[in-house]
Amino acid sequence: MLSLVLPTYNEAKNIESTLTEITAAIGTLPHEIIVADDDSPDGTWRIAESLRPRFKNLKVIRRTVNRGLSPAVVDGFRVASGDVLMVMDADGQHDPRLIPTLYEKVRSGKTIVVASRYVPGGSVGDWVSGRRVLSTVATSLAGWLSAVPVRDPLSGFFAVDRAAYRLIERSVHPVGFKILLEILAKLPRGSTGAEVPLHFRARAGGESKLSTRVQWQFLCQVARLTCVRVTRSLSLSLFLIVCALAAVILLPRIITLLPIYRDPALRANVNATIRAAAEREGMLLSGFSIREIASDHVDVRYRNYRRGDDAVTCMRFPFDHSITLPCGAL
Amino acid sequence: MRRALSIIGLQVYALLLAWMQALPGVRTDEAKYLLNIPYPHPPLVRSFMSLTESASFHELLWRVVLATFLVQAVWIVWDMGRDLSVWPRRALALGWLASAGMFLYAGVIVFSPLNALSGLILLWLARRPPQSGAIVGLLWLASLFTAYQAVLFAPLVWYVLRRSGQTIGGSAFILGIPLLLLGLYTLSNPLALTMITALYGRGEAAFTPLARISNVAFLWLLAGSGVVSVIGLAGLFMQPRWDRLATLALTGLFLFKSLPAQYYAILLTPLLIDGTRSALARWQKSGPLITILIACAGIVTARMTIHPFPVTDAHTVMPAIEHSAPSGDVLINGSFGHEWQYESRRNVYRFTESRVGTAAAVVCISACPALSTKLWQRLPDMPVEAWVRKG
């Protein structure tokens, strides 16, 4: 079954025509349509609710917290019950006639299928040159983050296999507009993808939401996903290297101390000798570290902790509590 | 803009807390870490701290850094509440900022707040598992090598590793290797082990089971300033999750067995915050009321717990010695803490007759043998008897 999520904000003028067009395109495919509305001031959610008697498979979510396109899509996916999850815009810019094609490609084994503006047959329609440039730059920035090679990782019209989505659901960070990029960056290894050409249509009504804030959110998203990708590839190596280094540093110390772990009598002797020497010399136990253990003496390093450079002395304490000697004395 | 103002406001709060803790001077536990003295805890964070030891602003710098970490961690709490509506989310954030653990220990140079922070991060990751278990492994390794108490969060680490897609074998590897390394570190530092054992042994007989239970209850109340303590505990059982309950049990057992130390209270705070989040998810409509209750409890707790701390004797005596005595060592008679070493840039020894001849100053916390007034002069107006050699 198909679960189609329509994230909406102030699409009161478009919602009915969009739903009509979608229903006609879907035909007899088993489906549900989920309108996830961000509590639109123009009452989009109210209009959608009123259409439920006419569109039997329609669900409406009125979202009052954590508003935004990506969180709306994630919420829609959360309540979806289909095995193919799909997203498209509700402003008429996406051609609903592509829905069955995307659906069938996911059903035939693709993890994710994207309606793409940048494959042969696709286009951005009547965008002004400034927006074309912006889109091209953004697409280039985002392209290398995708786990599956696609030419339009920023498309708002795509379908994903529900089982694959569930694997990454908790790691998806829904901020901003580009939920597809987030999903593409998080898909597990072995995921497969496909693209179908999309001709981006003019908006049927209402206003674009591509503000400066949204563009800034996109840049932050790319930066974050870049860090995630670099970190993921380096983190296991770094973990192993750090653990190995720690072991290399610690093991020689432990080997030096093995005699006192093996021999309780020697351990007691070393303990008593150091304490007696500390008492005699006025030193603090916390300053001692054992350097070498022999059958008749212990060599220690005493560090006089203070602000700045610490004074460090190496001393030999014979077990017979005779005078303190410098390390290496015969 | 609003977020930037919030960050600035929080930073002012952090600076205030750090300044408050700086007033009495360095305490003995803090001195241990600032001087990188190798007990009782592993070396990671204290090694970083000692890099700036020579700087005059050393103590204040690290108070500000630690307070900043703890206060700005509210953004993690804020993200944990992202599925809540506005008021419950505010209540959750306020619960973190207004906990007695925050008032008492943001800006204190001990490691239980850092352990608490790593616990909070783990609870956050449990809701947003990373895609690499090795990242969790690095965090786990870092927290274990900051302080031993990090072991209490092992159940959370296991849970996050499994949620991030690690197999049982992979999770056991990432969880176990750092623990093994911590064991190796402990074996490499036998004096530290001896001193920890001696310290706990002395305390063991001094506290009855009833006294210990009272202490645990007191720390639980401190951890959440009362309101979050109750709501948080209820929330942990409303949506029981084995890892949170296991961590709660381990922490409770640790608090029961330990010597009573208020700074352990903050170890409970992340769990109570997570429990509060679970409770608020069910009681969203009570968000405004709970926010007000938390604010009131925070004010009451602050009034009860924030006292003018007495200035340490070392903070008064050592600078006076530095100013008055010729170069040379300081001898101290009687039991003293590491703050005496920190407040001085001279070598500090226990008083022994053999060192009196070359010492520059003598501090008598316990009564000293008589010192010749031809060679020594007593510093006036000192909280303890202090003598400097005449120049």
Q: What is the per-residue pLDDT for B101? A: 83
Q: What is the per-residue pLDDT for B160? A: 93
Q: Are A120 and A235 in contact (CB under 8 A)?
A: no
- Backbone φ, ψ for residue B360 (5° rounding): -100, -25
A290 and B190 within 8 Å at the Cβ level: the answer is yes
| CA–CA separation, A312 and A322 (whole Å) | 22
User: Any residues with CB less than 8 A from the CB of A254 and at least 6 apart, and which?
Assistant: B184, B187, B188
Q: Are B342 and A286 in contact (CB under 8 A)?
A: no
Helix (H) or strand (E) holding A207: none
User: Which residue has better confidence, B259 or B15?
Assistant: B15
For the cut 80, the answer to whether the pLDDT of residue B254 exceeds it is yes
User: Which residue has better confidence, B182 or A170?
Assistant: B182
Which member of B174, B185, B348 has the closest CB to residue A306? B348
A171 and B131 within 8 Å at the Cβ level: the answer is yes
Of A281, A109, A113, A124, give the one whose Cα is nearest residue A183: A113
Distances (CA, A) of B204 to B151, B213, B216, B263: 21, 14, 15, 19
A247 and B184 within 8 Å at the Cβ level: the answer is yes
- Chain A residues lying within 8 Å of B41, measured CB to CB: none
Q: What is the per-residue pLDDT for A226? A: 82
For the cut 80, the answer to whether the pLDDT of residue B299 exceeds it is yes
Structure tokens at B163: 């949620």
DSSP string, B210-249: HHHHHHHHHHHHHHTTTHHHHHHHHHHHHS--HHHHHHHH
Structure tokens at A215: 């563009």
Q: Which residue on chain A is closest to B1 by alpha carbon?
A: A213
A247 and B181 within 8 Å at the Cβ level: the answer is yes
Residues 172-211 of A with CB under 8 A from B: 173, 186, 188
Residues 148-177 of A with CB under 8 A from B: 167-168, 170-171, 173
A307 and B35 within 8 Å at the Cβ level: the answer is yes
Q: How far apart are the first and last CA of chain A?
A: 87
C-alpha triplet A54, A56, A61: angle, nearest 5°: 100
Q: What is the per-residue pLDDT for B200? A: 59
Of A117, A143, A144, A120, give the one whose Cα is nearest residue A132: A117
Q: What is the per-residue pLDDT for B198? A: 64
Which member of A66, A186, A280 has the closest CB to residue B82? A66
B131 and A239 within 8 Å at the Cβ level: the answer is no
Strands (E), B233-322: none
Q: Are A294 and A286 in contact (CB under 8 A)?
A: no
Q: What is the per-residue pLDDT for A93? A: 83
Q: Which residue on chain A is closest to B329 by alpha carbon?
A: A304
Of A203, A12, A197, give the one whose Cα is nearest residue A97: A197
Q: What is the per-residue pLDDT for A178? A: 82
Helices assigned H by DSSP within chain A = 15-26, 44-50, 69-79, 99-107, 129-143, 162-168, 179-186, 212-262, 264-281
- Chain A residues lying within 8 Å of B353, measured CB to CB: none
> In this predicted structure, which of A136-150, A261-275, A276-290, B287-301 has the lowest mean pLDDT?
A136-150
Q: What is the per-residue pLDDT for A146? A: 80
What is the average pLDDT score of chain B? 90
Most confidently modeled of B8-17, B259-268, B363-372?
Answer: B8-17
Q: What is the per-residue pLDDT for B362? A: 95
B137 and A271 within 8 Å at the Cβ level: the answer is no
Q: What is the per-residue pLDDT for B94? A: 94
pLDDT tens for A113-166 read: 999 988 888 877 666 666 667 677 777 777 778 878 888 888 889 999 998 898
**pTM attached to this predicted model:** 0.78
pLDDT tens for A198-211 read: 887 766 555 555 66
Distances (CA, A) of A327 to A317, A330, B146: 9, 9, 32
The number of helices, as runs of H, and strands, as runs of E, in chain A is 9, 11
| CA–CA separation, B190 and A251 (whole Å) | 14
A59, amino acid identity = K
- How far does B210 lie from chain A, in Å, by closest CA? 33
Which member of B39, B188, B354 has the closest CB to residue A250? B188
A171 and B341 within 8 Å at the Cβ level: the answer is no
Given CB atoms, is A239 within the 8 Å cutoff of chain B? yes
The number of helices, as runs of H, and strands, as runs of E, in chain B is 20, 5
Burial class (CB in 10 A: 0-12, 13-18, 19+), A74: buried
Percent share of chain B, pLDDT over 90: 65
Task: Give residue B127's Cα distance to chain centre.
Answer: 26
Q: What is the mean pLDDT of residues B221-243?
A: 93
- Chain B residues lying within 8 Å of A271, measured CB to CB: 194
Which member of B84, B132, B349 has the closest CB to residue A283? B349
For the cut 70, the answer to whether the pLDDT of residue A277 exceeds it is yes
